[in-house]
Amino acid sequence: MSDKAPRGIRLVIALTGRRNAGKSSLINAICGQEVAIVSSHAGTTTDPVGKHYELLPLGPVTFFDTAGLDDQGELGELRVKATHKVLYRADIAVVVVGEDGITKHERSIIARVQELSIPLLVVFNKNDLAAPKDADLAWCAEQGFVPSVVSAETGENIDELKAQLIAAAPQEFKEEPLLLGDLVQPGEVCVCVVPIDLSAPKGRLILPQVQVLRDLLDHDAIGLVSKEHDLPATLGRLAEDPALVVTDSQAVDLVAKNVPERVALTTFSTLFARYKGDLPALVEGAKAMDSLKDGDTILIGEACSHHTLEDDIGRVKIPAWMKKYTGKTLNFEVFSGHDFPEDLERYSLCIHCGSCMLNRREMLRRIRECRRRGVPITNYGVAISKLQGVLERIIAPFGL
């Protein structure tokens, strides 16, 4: 794809509707024809066309025109597959209703969108030509949603529709995520446990550690840095218990033993699982480890293929720990890159890397796709805590 913004940070809008429903003019009316960056590529029935626009104040958006779910024949089946693919990744679904009103076509896609918990907007376009039928409005009310009634041609209600689109965008498109400012109050001490081993880059700290220290300062809190073996002495240097101890996952086992139960404890990975993703979803996913069966296949997901250290964790350490923890014979498969495997549903669990190379929106999208397709998903950090028996403790500070 020729894409100005990285693919992951664009708001993905699945747009569906009959050929004559006025989808293109609706997009132009919403985004402003003059600023629209229309980069249309040759799409296939299985790889739908994305059209890129600017939707201020949200920024870049991609509209995918989907075929719907009631197509017949072999080609129709491919189109249905393509529609599913778009819906798995969609942030918002917009169903554009034209002069034919709501038919079986619209109903089936609305049902699927609701099943996948995708924010839905139903738009009656062409109000300048014909008002929506009373029966259709009644059906919408029955279904529990209020459709928009607009005219791309005259601009009627377009501003309202734009505001609804922005309101429907996932929260992560609208606000800064929390790192740990809510866990440590102004003036409180947070102890950061930083092991210095051979993999630590010489003369500096790694970025997540620096980000945590900076976030503490930004919240008027006090950050304290200690090696794992010095932790008992470090705690002794404080007049009272710290508000929180954050440790590298590598040392969580040792640190958990040395931090009194009354002191809140978590890991850098867990902070970033929340900052970069959906912590409750990843914790929920980790619980799937307890119900794995012999022969189950686990998907190890990597955001990039460049780091041998993470390879080691995903390809060697986690499989070994899981074998020990579950006592089952499990298969592990690794994927890296952008799209999940087509047959994602055959995996019993997806364990994703810490996604240091992904932004929050992209990671949330991956989590969401797994959940929409019924596959539990967790990440390396949360998985390791689960396997080491400290998960409950390290998620307690988040009220989970």
The residue ranges that bind a copy of itself (CB under 8 A) are: 186-187, 189, 194, 196, 203-205, 207, 210-211, 213-218, 220, 222-227, 230, 233-234, 236-240
Contacts 24+ apart (CB under 8 A), 87-90: 87/14, 87/112, 87/113, 87/116, 87/118, 87/372, 88/116, 88/368, 88/369, 88/372, 88/373, 89/12, 89/365, 89/368, 89/369, 90/12, 90/13, 90/14, 90/64, 90/118
Q: How far is the CB of 228 from a copy of itself (least distance, A)?
A: 10
What letter represents residue 193's amino acid?
Answer: V
Whole-number Å distance between alpha carbons of 83 and 356: 30
Q: How far is the CB of 197 from a copy of itself (least distance, A)?
A: 11
Q: How far is the CB of 167 from a copy of itself (least distance, A)?
A: 27
Whether the CB-CB separation of 378 and 348 falls below 8 Å is answered with no
Q: Which residues contact 115 (CB under 8 A, 6 or more apart)?
A: none
Nearer to a copy of itself (CB atom), residue 244 or residue 383: 244
Q: How far is the CB of 362 from a copy of itself (least distance, A)?
A: 18
Nearer to a copy of itself (CB atom), residue 100 or residue 188: 188
Nearer to a copy of itself (CB atom), residue 187 or residue 341: 187
How many Cβ atoms from other residues are within 10 Å of residue 238's Cβ? 12
Q: Which residues pair with 149 in a beta bridge?
A: 124
Q: How far is the CB of 308 from a copy of itself (least distance, A)?
A: 23
Q: How far is the CB of 173 from a copy of itself (least distance, A)?
A: 19
Token pair recorded at residue 42: 């040759």
Q: How far is the CB of 270 from a copy of itself (least distance, A)?
A: 19
- Measured distance between the N- and C-terminal CA atoms of the chain, rounded to whole angstroms: 39
Nearer to a copy of itself (CB atom), residue 102 or residue 213: 213
Beta-sheet strand order (sheet of 331-336): 331-336, 297-302, 349-352, 377-379
Token pair recorded at residue 119: 């924010």
Nearer to a copy of itself (CB atom), residue 9 or residue 36: 9
Q: How far is the CB of 4 from a copy of itself (least distance, A)?
A: 23
Nearer to a copy of itself (CB atom), residue 31 or residue 213: 213
Write the burial class of residue 147 (CB in 10 Å: 0-12 exposed, 13-18 middle, 19+ buried): buried
Q: How far is the CB of 204 from a copy of itself (least distance, A)?
A: 5
Q: How far is the CB of 199 from a copy of itself (least distance, A)?
A: 14
Whole-number Å distance between alpha carbons of 344 and 369: 10
Nearer to a copy of itself (CB atom), residue 141 or residue 217: 217
Q: How far is CA 255 from CA 4, 187, 304, 338, in A?
A: 44, 23, 30, 35
Whether the CB-CB separation of 90 and 12 falls below 8 Å is answered with yes
Place of tokens 């109903």: 107
Whole-number Å distance between alpha carbons of 365 and 382: 18
How many Cβ atoms from other residues are within 10 Å of residue 98's Cβ? 20
Question: CA nearest 220: which of 179, 187, 245?
Answer: 187
Nearer to a copy of itself (CB atom), residue 61 or residue 216: 216
Nearer to a copy of itself (CB atom), residue 358 or residue 375: 358
Nearer to a copy of itself (CB atom), residue 204 or residue 324: 204
Q: Which residues pair with 346 in a beta bridge?
A: none
